[in-house]
């Protein structure tokens, strides 16, 4: 009787494991399909000749390949200047966020001060509130930027409106760099949380050893703590780079004319094609150029991720999962 029960439990256990394996396979397959299908479609259409877009015998693999779509997309997007503007903006914002968020996260992780928990709760609230919600008042602030109230003081002294002395920061990268430096940039709350988790997981003996060697809090942070947070630094850099690279609404608002990054130029390229008579009447040409433009847009990010994938995964595991 007992052997029968044990045999039944073993069969039930094997059946449960088999069903879970099947369910996991379909779940992973479905997620992979949702993620990879657009990418595979872009790769298929970007190098497809215009004449094959309406050919019903061509589904995924083109009969021949062409670079005309890529050349046209790069021309419409002004790819050289666009990628340069994107790199300057994204690398600058990522570096500033690492500098600010690492220091803030270290303070929340290692120092005890009044109102520490309520202040950290406010940091978490910045994750919930999208940046796009407050971009209208911030646009006005950057349009008439008053540095520490100097413009208002000059306006009161001279009897003129302070906007005469205010600085217009619209169409400059300072509209992204200033909030990033002060810890309120795009997703800065997430990065502060990641650094806080990373520094909390480091053993306290590191700080005690540094203190014995004569290091103060600043030197301990620079020489001991930061070198042990390399994986998290790389993770934050990649996240910040990608989020700024993909940002469109704020870029369209703050950089409408000058320093246009690739995300904005991709959108403007589609609008330019609509206004171009030679392309407007040719729907397959529009599709080919659009797919090629999308491929050229995501290619730098894919290259960076492929190179840094190992350290990226390590950084997420060390800082984002452990309590």
pLDDT of amino acid 16: 82
Task: Check residue 277 and give its pLDDT.
Answer: 53
- The CA distance from 20 to 5, in Å, is 22
What backbone phi and psi angles, to 5 degrees, belong to 49? -60, 150
Where the chain has pLDDT below 70, the residues are 1-8, 271-282, 312, 314-323
Per-residue pLDDT tens over the stretch 107-136: 998 888 888 888 988 888 888 887 778 878
pTM: 0.81
Angle at 111 between CA 105 and CA 117, to 5 degrees: 70
**Closest by CA position to 192, among listed 126, 286, 112, 260:** 126
pLDDT of residue 95: 94
What are all long-range contacts of 227-232, with beta carbons under 8 Å and residues at least 24 apart? Answer: 228/202, 229/102, 229/195, 229/198, 229/199, 229/202, 230/311, 231/311, 231/314, 231/315, 231/318, 231/319, 232/194, 232/195, 232/198, 232/315, 232/318, 232/319
Break the chain into its structural domains and give their ranges.
1-37, 46-320
pLDDT at 49: 85
CATH number at 46-320: 1.10.3720.10
Q: List helix spans (H) across 111-248.
A: 116-128, 135-143, 150-158, 174-181, 188-201, 205-212, 217-220, 230-246
Decide: helix, strand or coil at residue 167.
strand
DSSP characters over 198-229: HHHHS-THHHHHHHHTT--HHHHIIIIIGGGG
């Amino acid at each position: 009787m007992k052997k029968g029960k044990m045999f039944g439990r073993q069969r039930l256990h094997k059946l449960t494991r088999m069903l879970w394996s099947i369910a996991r396979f379909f779940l992973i397959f479905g997620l992979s399909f949702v993620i990879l299908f657009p990418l595979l479609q872009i790769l298929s259409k970007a190098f497809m000749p215009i004449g094959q877009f309406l050919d019903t015998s061509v589904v995924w693999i083109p009969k021949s390949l062409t670079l005309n779509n890529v050349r046209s997309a790069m021309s419409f997007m002004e790819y050289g200047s666009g990628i340069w503007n994107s790199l300057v903006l994204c690398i600058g914002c990522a570096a500033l966020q690492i500098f600010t968020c690492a220091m803030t996260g270290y303070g929340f992780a290692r120092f005890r001060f009044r109102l520490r928990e309520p202040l950290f709760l406010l940091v978490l609230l910045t994750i919930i509130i999208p940046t796009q919600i407050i971009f209208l008042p911030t646009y006005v602030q950057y349009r008439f930027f008053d540095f520490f109230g100097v413009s208002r003081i000059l306006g009161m002294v001279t009897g003129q409106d302070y906007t005469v002395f205010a600085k217009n920061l619209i169409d400059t990268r300072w509209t992204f760099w200033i909030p990033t430096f002060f810890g309120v940039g795009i997703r800065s709350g997430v990065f502060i949380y990641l650094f806080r988790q990373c520094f909390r997981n480091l053993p306290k003996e590191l700080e005690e050893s540094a203190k014995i060697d004569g290091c103060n809090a600043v030197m301990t942070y620079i020489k001991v703590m930061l070198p042990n947070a390399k994986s998290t630094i790389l993770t934050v850099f990649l996240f910040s780079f990608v989020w700024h690279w993909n940002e469109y609404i704020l870029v369209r608002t703050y950089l409408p004319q000058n320093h246009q990054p690739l995300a904005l130029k991709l959108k403007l390229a589609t609008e330019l094609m609509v206004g171009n008579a030679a392309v407007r009447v040719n729907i397959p040409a529009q599709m080919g150029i659009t797919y090629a433009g999308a491929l050229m847009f995501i290619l730098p990010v894919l290259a960076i991720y492929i190179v840094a994938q190992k350290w990226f995964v390590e950084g997420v595991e060390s800082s984002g999962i452990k309590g």
